Chain A
Amino acid sequence: MAHGDGPAPAPGPATGPAPGAAVPGEPLLEVRDLVKHFPLTRGVVFRKQVGAVKAVDGVSFTLRKGETLGIVGESGCGKSTVAKMLVALERPTAGQIRYRGEDISRLSGRAMKAVRRNIQMVFQDPYTSLNPRMTVGDIIGEPYEIHPEVAPKGDRRRKVRELLDVVGLNPEYINRYPHQFSGGQRQRIGIARGLALRPEIIVADEPVSALDVSVQAQVVNLLEQLQDEFDLSYVFIAHDLSVVRHLSDRVAVMYLGRIVETGTDEQIYEHPTHPYTQALLSAVPVPDPDARSARGRILLTGDVPSPADPPSGCPFRTRCWKARDLCAEVVPPLDVPAVFAADEGPVRHPSACHFAEERKAVPSG
């Protein structure tokens, strides 16, 4: 199979840890009970809080060295707010984000700056996330202005050229402006900027959703290649379940500010036990007309409730075909459901549903 002439192939997967680096599998980032509420206020002079948009309402997960954690969910589920808190663009209302054991959510000043170097972000929209009045060289080199210890002044142009080469762009383009590039090329620039400080973790919020299919594959391959090359860990946030499956080792499904199910890609895609995950998977159009009749599509009724006024109990109960009285009263915890506790197979994974049961949602290819 002849591959496209994208970036040069990776020098093979990283074998063993680089000197001084963490052991693979070691937890890098531990998020515990993360909460973000945006206050809703009324009045101009006498502002008073009348409520809160519960964008993120108790999210916990662990990111290990070298792995990709995919976070999926529909618009408004809080996945982007989680991303912003991870890179300290938003401060959590409550909860902890532990990076190598240290809670970084309350840091400030120099300590925060040091941590931020290691956790970088790639944004969704390659058209608005690059300053149109800066050259590509200045955009990718800007992180060095903030962290001059990484690259001394005289060395920066060379480093930027190297980065351009790494992401598959011609290093001669260093003096061009963002508008001279296509969408896919701009996303490569955004990725180069994310790599500039040699971070350990990259938080990528919908990095390929604005791109055309043929270009999307190039960028997805680049992300995989860079992970091998630089031993990166990714938090990959997307609404496209197929892309998430392709890239992720583990997946967390979010709904209305909470994680409702989490597990390996096989556990989530082949053996989902939460009704929302099942509905979400069954709704994805599969590029195979023969699967048309084979699929039992679960059609959800209604829309996602407002996070300013979420339902009591289970957040999904208003759209769930299995909801009973218990669901309105008790929030189901994100644990391995009791029915599967003794199971050895892949159904044994955390699912926040009182009535979890396995149901195949993806037509097998």
Chain B
Amino acid sequence: MRNGAPTAGDGAPAALLDVRDLRVEFRTRDGIAKAVNGVSCRVAPGQTLAVLGESGSGKSVTAQAVMGILDSPPGYVTGGEIVFQGRDLLTLRKEERRRVRGARMAMIFQDALSALNPVLSVGAQLGEMFQVHEGMSRKAARGRAVELMERVGIPAARARVGDYPHQFSGGMRQRIMIAMALALGPDLIIADEPTTALDVTVQAQVMDLLAELQRELTMGLILITHDLGVVADVADTIAVMYAGRIVETAPVHQLYRAPAHPYTRGLLDSIPRLDRKGQRLYAIKGLPPNLTAIPPGCPFNPRCPLAQDVCRSELPPLYEVGPGRSSACHFWKETLDGAR
């Protein structure tokens, strides 16, 4: 995958984040698990990129590598560049990287209860950001914490600033996570399954809040999720990941209307729909590959209804299939035309 550069040609604004050919592996006792195998993607200010994938597709590992919070060992970035606001983060010293993280880019995690410290009040945790990064006094920091809590819609923020995470409901905790991510006015937010643990009615509230804040502050947002519904609701561009690679990228409307990769097509066909009863679901056969033994050729070939000999021997590059669209499938034309 050497085509990080050509995709920039569609007059898009300067990228906020430009990931080029990122590679991450985990060195485990059972062998080397290749979690990310040459991922390239770009996010512009004010834009939402959704990274869609199932468990083990490498979407969260990509996010952790960008954020610089990969557990190492066993995880190692073995190649590529992460260019953020013109600087390759992978060449920065630890201390510089730390200043970028939190202040310029921030992350929202899936499980707010385990991401927040249970023995510190939420006010102390929010305020800590200002104390550490901006050298504020504890009192001033607390004042800012209250403002932030109000901003993300926590009722009676002043009265609740001293409460502990367990005293909040799931939706409120996720709002606190968002407040924490916003605290220092970052330019990029990475949200890893931000609403997966929430009930639908609360999920809708939290997604709306996130989208509204993003618009208002023209932040870049990377939304990592497995939920095709959430993606359709908020994303501008989608990158579909499989076995550590991006197999398809497309503007959201085009991807849903006419997927150019059989995996994407299979995913879209395998979800039951709320708006119609439908017949038996299409099921992608088999299981995602073991990352210590990714099959040769196209990693999706053992599960692909279109697979031919070429798919078993040659890794498909990311073909340019339209403006702003690419697909890593030898038979992307046939897929676009609706063959399965």
Contacts and interface: CB of A to CB of B under 8 A. Distances in A.
Interface string A281-325: 101111111111000010111011000000000000000000000
A265 interface: yes
Contact of B271 (A75, A287, A362, A364): A287
Interface in B39-65: 54-55
A214 B283 contact: yes
B282 A287 contact: no
A174 interface: no
Which of A4, A299, A363 has the most B CB atoms < 10 Å from its CB? A4
A279 interface: yes
Interface stretch (B100-108, B273-281, B320-328): B273-281
B226 to A, nearest CB: 6
Contact of A287 (B55, B207, B232): B232
Contacts of B230: 285
A18 interface: no
Given A3-B282, A213-B270, A214-B54, A283 B232 contact: no
B274 A281 contact: yes
Nearest to B254: A289
B200 A280 contact: yes
A263 interface: no
Interface string B277-300: 110111111111000000000000
Contacts of A218: 283-285
Contacts of B227: 285
Given A283-B203, A365-B276, A213 B256 contact: no
A220 B281 contact: yes
A89 interface: no
Contacts of A283: 200-201, 203-204
Contact of B55 (A3, A212, A299): A212
A2 B276 contact: no
A5 B285 contact: yes
B8 to A, nearest CB: 24
B111 to A, nearest CB: 14
Contacts of A365: 273, 275-276
B282 A289 contact: no
Contact of B285 (A4, A212, A266, A288): A4
Tell which of B200, B283, B340 has the most Cβ of chain A within 10 Å: B283
A287 B205 contact: no
A213 B277 contact: no
B200 A286 contact: no
Contacts of B235: 289
A303 B274 contact: no
A279 B270 contact: no
Given A217-B270, A245-B272, A285-B227, A4 B282 contact: yes
B285 A287 contact: no
A213 B271 contact: yes
B252 interface: yes
B267 interface: yes
Contacts of B268: 287
B200 A2 contact: no
Contacts, number: 150
A339 B245 CA distance: 56
Contacts of B231: 287
Contacts of A242: 229, 271-274
A115 interface: no
Interface in A173-213: 182, 184, 212-213
B271 A217 contact: yes
Nearest to B153: A301
A24 to B, nearest CB: 20
Contacts of A220: 272, 281
A359 interface: no
A284 B204 CA distance: 8
B198 to A, nearest CB: 9
Contacts of B204: 283, 285, 297, 299
Contacts of B278: 246
Contacts of B229: 242, 284-287
A216 interface: yes
Contacts of A265: 277
A208 to B, nearest CB: 10
B54 A285 contact: no
B270 A364 contact: no
Interface string B220-231: 000000111111
A120 B235 CA distance: 42
B208 interface: yes
Contacts of A4: 282-286
B274 A3 contact: no
Nearest to B54: A212
A239 B200 contact: yes
B253 interface: yes
Interface of A: 1-6, 74-75, 182, 184, 212-218, 220-221, 224, 239, 241-243, 245-247, 265-266, 269, 279-281, 283-292, 297, 299-301, 303-304, 362-365
Given A2-B305, A286-B274, A287-B231, 14 more contacts: A74-B199, A74-B200, A214-B270, A220-B281, A239-B199, A239-B200, A242-B271, A269-B274, A283-B200, A283-B204, A285-B207, A286-B233, A287-B268, A303-B172
Nearest first, the 3 closest Cβ-Cβ pairs linking A and B are: A285-B229, A246-B272, A4-B285
24 contacts: A3-B283, A6-B285, A212-B54, A217-B283, A221-B281, A221-B283, A241-B200, A246-B272, A246-B273, A279-B201, A283-B200, A285-B204, A285-B233, A287-B231, A289-B232, A290-B253, A290-B256, A291-B232, A291-B275, A299-B205, A300-B201, A300-B205, A303-B169, A365-B273
